[in-house]
Amino acid sequence: MYQGTRTYGRVTGVAGKRATIKGPSGGSITRVGSSDDPVIRLVSESTGNAVLKKRSQLRAAPKKKK
């Protein structure tokens, strides 16, 4: 959840224990994980921006209905 809204994205890789990316406003965003809870790199489905989350913060998306 981000600001009260559920967001979806595609996993692009595992960043390990620490990762930093440039945010959409130009600032740096750093996430610190652990070997049991690594940082995961994602791309937001709605904005296309890079996102960093710890594995414990993620859940699988529900299956789309056909």
Question: For the chain, what are the domain ranges?
Answer: 9-55
pLDDT band for 7, please (50, 70, 90 cuts).
confident
More confident residue, 13 or 62: 13
**Tens-place pLDDT, residues 23-39:** 888 899 899 999 999 99
pLDDT band for 4, please (50, 70, 90 cuts).
low
Contact 18, 30 (CB under 8 A): yes
The dihedrals phi and psi of 5, each to the nearest 5 degrees, come to -120, 135
Q: Mean pLDDT across the stretch 8-32?
A: 91
* The predicted structure's pLDDT at residue 28: 93
- Does pLDDT of 1 surpass 60? no
End-to-end CA distance of the chain: 25
C-alpha to C-alpha distance for 33 and 54, rounded to whole angstroms: 6
Of 9, 14, 19, 15, residue with least CA distance to 60: 9
